[in-house]
Amino acid sequence: MQNRHISSYSSLENLSQAAARYVIQVAQEAIADHGRFTFSLSGGNTPKALYNLLASEPYTSQIDWNLVELFWSDERCVPPDSADSCYKMALDTLISKIPVPANQVHRMLAEQDNRDAASQAYTDEMHRVFKTSDVPEFDLILLGMGPEAHTASLFPHQPSLKENERLVMPVSVPKPPPARLTFTPPVLTAARHVLFLVTGQDKAEAVKEVIEGQHNPEEYPAQLVRPTQGEVTWLFDTAAASKLTHKF
Ligand SMILES: O=C1O[C@H](COP(=O)(O)O)[C@@H](O)[C@H](O)[C@H]1O
């Protein structure tokens, strides 16, 4: 696959530094090309070190945060001050420390009782910001991957894997907290750049299947992320990459 790039690093710190350089490069190119940087964040533990770096020098001043629009690829259905909230994690590690305008931080209102309405509201928000009624083309979507190859909140054998109409939908997943909102495959596939950060020995088998195995996204949802026009970059730590036959 020509538009797939893979690297592995000896530590989370080295991986996160490479990720920060990549985010800055994509941001600068996007701003030079079309005047802003649309960036979708992920939750989980792995991106915390990246967010901390992006909020500190020498990284933070290399991005014009006034021209950044932040979104999320998935969110847990919890209040925004919950320890499980993807928004809170990014707020604590990044957003509270950078000069991004508040009206350019677009969180999923996943705590609302009506999750279909919250999903539609997020779709409407993307359409408004991207000035399109079509699928938005993010400059960069940051993703993680779980040990069962889920990404965003697209889990194995769930109907969300086949969703082609909705851009955001409610799901119930086998990892706590179960109720989530997630981007669907069309949004992930339309991105200009996708950056996966994957660490840990518990993910090594899934990494091997996703990268070197047969195409089987029902079993390995991260395989769905094959941007039609854009490029996908995988950054692994040594443990996550340990079962790959080819060494990167
Ligand atoms: O549940 C989730 O997990 C994935 C992976 O998280 P990590 O802690 O293993 O890095 C994450 O990308 C996703 O946003 C989150 O909701």
**In one letter, which amino acid is 96?**
S
Kindly give the pairing relationship between strand 74-76 and strand 4-9.
unpaired
Structure confidence at residue 14 (pLDDT): 98
User: What is the Cα–Cα distance from 207 to 147, expressed in whole angstroms?
Assistant: 8
pTM: predicted TM-score of the whole model, two decimal places: 0.98
Structure tokens at 74: 């998935």
User: What is the Cα–Cα distance from 247 to 240, expressed in whole angstroms?
Assistant: 12
Structure confidence at residue 228 (pLDDT): 81
Structure tokens at 66: 């006034």
Ligand 1 atom nearest to CA at 73: 14
Structure confidence at residue 227 (pLDDT): 80
Structure tokens at 4: 């797939």
User: What is the Cα–Cα distance from 113 to 109, expressed in whole angstroms?
Assistant: 10
Kindly give the pairing relationship between strand 179-183 and strand 74-76.
antiparallel
**In one letter, which amino acid is 126?**
M
Which residue's entry shows tokens 């029902």? 218
Nearest to 36 by CA among 24, 46, 28: 28
Nearest CA residue ID for atom 14, ligand 1: 43
* Ligand 1 in reach of 85 Cβ (< 6 A): no
* CA dihedral over 17, 194, 30, 109, signed as positive or negative: negative
User: Which of 145, 154, 195 to mutate for ligand 1's pocket (most ligand atoms within 8 Å of CB)?
Assistant: 145
Structure tokens at 38: 């649309």
> 4-237 domain in CATH 3.10.20.30?
no
Ligand 1 atom nearest to CA at 200: 9
User: What is the Cα–Cα distance from 228 to 230, expressed in whole angstroms?
Assistant: 6
Structure confidence at residue 1 (pLDDT): 55
* Ligand 1 in reach of 45 Cβ (< 6 A): yes
Structure confidence at residue 28 (pLDDT): 98
Structure confidence at residue 114 (pLDDT): 98
Extents of the domains making up the chain: 4-237
ipTM over 0.90: yes
pLDDT in tens, the chain (248 residues): 559 999 999 999 999 999 999 999 999 999 999 999 999 999 999 999 999 999 999 999 999 999 999 999 999 999 999 999 999 999 999 999 999 999 999 999 999 999 999 999 999 999 999 999 999 999 999 999 999 999 999 999 999 999 999 999 999 999 999 999 999 999 999 999 999 999 999 999 999 999 999 999 999 999 999 888 899 999 999 999 999 998 88
Whether 73 and 183 have beta carbons less than 8 Å apart is answered as yes
